[in-house]
C-alpha cells in the first residue's frame, strides 16, 4: 500500500470539506450568543439592583413612621416611642349579675329518724323502702299483747268505778284516778306504733322484724321530699353577701342538662369553728320527686343584680388615700402633617390620647368587674392593666381598644 498516496487523498478531502464550510458565519453566530448572554446577565443585575433599592426605601419609610411623627409643618419632630402605650376599655351599660358558687348536697324537707318511745320486739314494718306514706299512717309497730291487756284492764276498772259512783260506793276522785290509769294504758299502746307526721317516703329500714329495740335505737328514716333543701357551707368572707330570699340556681350530676331554681330559706346564725363556714339552705320545690336526699349539688347564689349598670374591668381601678380613681383617656385630634406623609402612615402610627385621673364612686365590686355608680359616662375610654403609674394630663399612645369584658 502506498502511504504517501493515502495521505494525499486525506488532505484533498479535508480541503474539499473546508471549502464548503463558511468559518466567518460560524464566528459571527458564536459572537452573537456571547453578546446575548452578556445582555441577559446585565438585565438580571439591573432587576436585582432595582428590587434592592425598593426594599431599602420601604424599610426606611417604616422606620421613619415608627420613630417620628410630625405635629404640624411649623413644629419640630417628636419621638413617638417616648409615649407610654396603653390598652383601654370603652365603657358601656349592661345588665350586671354577680353569683356566688357553692358546693353541697340535697336534704329532704323533713328527715326524721324513726324510734319507738318504749322498748319491745318489732312486730311489723308496714311499708317498703322508697314506698310512699300518707300522714297518720302507722309505719311500724312493736308487739302489743301486754299493752292491749293493760288497756283492757284499765277500761274495765274505769267502767266499774263509774257504776259504783252512781250508787254512792266511791267518790269522784276514784273515778278520776281510774280515768287517768285508762289514759296511761292507752298512751302506752300508742307508743308501740310509729306514725307518719306528714306525707313522705320510707327512706330506709335499719332493723329487721323480730328484733328487740330500745328508745335509743334508730330503726329507719322517714323523709318528706315534696320540697327539698340544697344545703351549702359558705366561707366566712362571703357571708356578708348572703340574704334570705336570694335566688339560686341548683345543678345536680344526675341531671346535667337541667337546673332548679330556689331561694335562700335559712342562714345559720353561727359560723362553725373548725371550717369557718356558715350553713345555708336553699328551698326547692320537688313535686316530681326527682331530687333525692344525698345527691351532690352545685349552686350559683345570685348575690347582686342590676339592670343597665355601667361596668368596667377591675384591673382599671386604683386605690388612693382619697378613694378610688380610674385613668380616663381623651383622644387627641389628628394634627396636620406634611404632604409626603401618607394617610396609611398616620393610621399605622396609632392614636394619641391625654390621661385624666378621675375619682369614681363604686356601686358593687367583684374580683373581675366593678359597677361604677358615679364618675364615668357611657362610651369613655378607661385604661386597663396598669403597668406604670400614669399622671394627670400625660400623653399616651392608645395601643388597643377593648369593647368586651372578659
Q: Cα-flanking dihedrals φ and ψ of residue 265, to 5°?
A: -100, -30
Q: Cα-flanking dihedrals φ and ψ of residue 282, to 5°?
A: -105, 120
pLDDT value at position 347? Answer: 43
Topology, domain 71-95+308-402 = 2.40.420
**CATH architecture group of domain 99-105+225-306:** Beta Barrel (2.40)
pLDDT value at position 222? Answer: 93
- What stretches of 144-195 adopt beta strand conformation (E)? 193-195
Residue 277 forms beta bridges with which residues?
A: 235
**CATH architecture group of domain 113-221:** Beta Barrel (2.40)
Distances in whole angstroms, Cα of residue 365 to Cα of each of 32, 57, 107, 235, 322 = 87, 53, 33, 18, 18
Q: What is the pTM of this model?
A: 0.58
Phi-psi map region of 312: left, alpha, beta (phi>0 left; psi -120 to 50 alpha): beta
pLDDT value at position 250? Answer: 95
pLDDT value at position 270? Answer: 87
pLDDT value at position 164? Answer: 86
pLDDT value at position 56? Answer: 60
pLDDT value at position 220? Answer: 93
Of all helices (H) and strands (E), which one includes residue 151? helix 145-166
pLDDT value at position 62? Answer: 53
Q: How many CB atoms lie within 10 A of CB 184?
A: 13
| Cα 68 from Cα 62, distance rounded (Å) | 10
Q: In sequence order, which residues have a C-beta less than 8 Å from that of residue 293 and are 6 or more positions away?
A: 106, 107, 108, 111, 203, 223, 225, 228
Contact 316, 326 (CB under 8 A): yes
| Cα 107 from Cα 60, distance rounded (Å) | 74
CB burial of residue 163 (10 Å; 0-12, 13-18, 19+): exposed
| Cα 284 from Cα 282, distance rounded (Å) | 6
pLDDT value at position 117? Answer: 92
Q: Cα-flanking dihedrals φ and ψ of residue 199, to 5°?
A: -70, 145
| Model confidence pLDDT, tens digit, residues 96-132 | 989 999 999 999 888 899 999 999 999 999 998 888 8
Q: pLDDT below 50 — which residues of the chain?
A: 17-18, 20, 63, 66-68, 70-80, 336-349
| Cα 319 from Cα 360, distance rounded (Å) | 10
pLDDT value at position 14? Answer: 55
pLDDT value at position 404? Answer: 83
| Model confidence pLDDT, tens digit, residues 182-199 | 999 999 999 999 999 888
Of all helices (H) and strands (E), which one includes residue 153? helix 145-166
pLDDT value at position 11? Answer: 60
pLDDT value at position 72? Answer: 46
Amino acid at each position: 500500500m502506498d502511504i504517501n498516496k493515502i495521505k494525499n487523498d486525506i488532505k484533498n478531502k479535508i480541503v474539499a470539506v473546508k471549502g464548503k464550510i463558511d468559518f466567518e458565519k460560524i464566528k459571527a453566530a458564536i459572537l452573537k450568543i456571547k453578546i446575548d448572554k452578556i445582555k441577559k446577565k446585565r438585565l438580571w443585575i439591573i432587576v436585582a439592583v432595582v428590587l434592592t433599592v425598593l426594599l431599602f426605601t420601604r424599610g426606611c419609610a417604616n422606620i421613619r413612621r415608627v420613630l417620628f411623627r410630625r405635629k404640624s409643618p411649623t413644629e419640630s419632630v417628636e419621638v413617638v416611642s417616648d409615649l407610654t402605650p396603653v390598652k383601654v376599655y370603652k365603657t358601656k351599660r349592661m345588665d350586671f349579675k354577680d353569683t356566688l358558687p357553692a358546693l353541697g348536697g340535697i336534704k329532704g324537707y323533713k328527715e326524721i329518724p324513726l324510734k319507738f318511745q318504749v322498748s319491745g320486739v318489732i312486730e311489723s314494718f308496714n311499708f317498703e323502702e322508697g314506698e310512699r306514706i300518707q300522714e297518720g299512717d302507722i309505719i311500724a309497730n312493736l308487739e302489743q299483747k301486754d299493752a292491749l291487756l293493760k288497756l283492757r284492764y284499765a277500761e274495765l276498772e274505769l267502767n266499774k268505778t263509774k257504776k259504783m259512783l252512781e250508787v254512792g260506793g266511791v267518790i269522784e276522785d276514784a273515778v278520776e284516778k281510774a280515768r287517768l290509769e285508762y289514759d296511761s294504758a292507752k298512751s302506752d299502746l300508742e307508743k308501740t306504733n310509729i306514725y307518719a307526721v306528714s306525707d313522705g317516703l320510707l327512706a330506709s329500714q335499719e332493723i329487721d322484724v323480730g328484733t328487740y329495740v330500745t328508745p335509743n335505737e334508730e330503726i329507719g328514716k322517714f323523709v318528706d321530699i315534696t320540697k327539698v333543701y340544697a344545703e351549702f357551707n359558705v366561707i366566712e368572707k362571703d357571708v356578708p353577701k348572703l340574704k334570705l330570699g336570694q335566688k339560686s340556681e341548683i345543678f345536680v350530676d344526675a341531671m346535667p342538662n337541667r337546673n332548679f331554681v330556689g331561694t335562700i330559706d335559712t342562714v345559720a346564725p353561727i359560723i362553725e369553728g373548725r371550717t369557718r363556714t356558715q350553713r345555708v339552705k336553699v328551698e326547692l320545690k320537688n313535686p316530681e320527686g326527682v331530687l333525692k336526699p344525698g345527691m351532690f349539688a352545685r349552686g350559683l347564689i345570685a348575690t347582686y343584680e342590676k339592670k343597665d349598670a355601667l361596668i368596667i374591668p377591675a384591673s382599671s381601678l386604683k386605690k388612693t388615700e382619697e378613694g378610688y380613681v380610674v385613668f380616663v383617656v381623651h383622644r387627641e385630634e389628628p394634627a396636620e402633617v406634611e404632604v409626603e406623609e401618607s394617610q396609611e402612615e398616620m393610621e399605622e402610627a396609632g392614636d394619641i390620647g391625654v390621661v385624666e385621673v378621675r375619682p369614681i364612686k363604686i356601686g358593687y365590686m367583684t374580683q373581675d368587674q366593678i359597677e361604677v355608680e358615679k364618675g364615668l359616662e357611657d362610651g369613655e375610654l378607661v385604661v386597663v392593666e396598669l403597668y406604670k403609674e400614669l399622671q394627670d394630663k400625660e400623653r399616651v399612645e392608645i395601643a388597643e381598644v377593648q369593647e368586651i369584658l372578659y
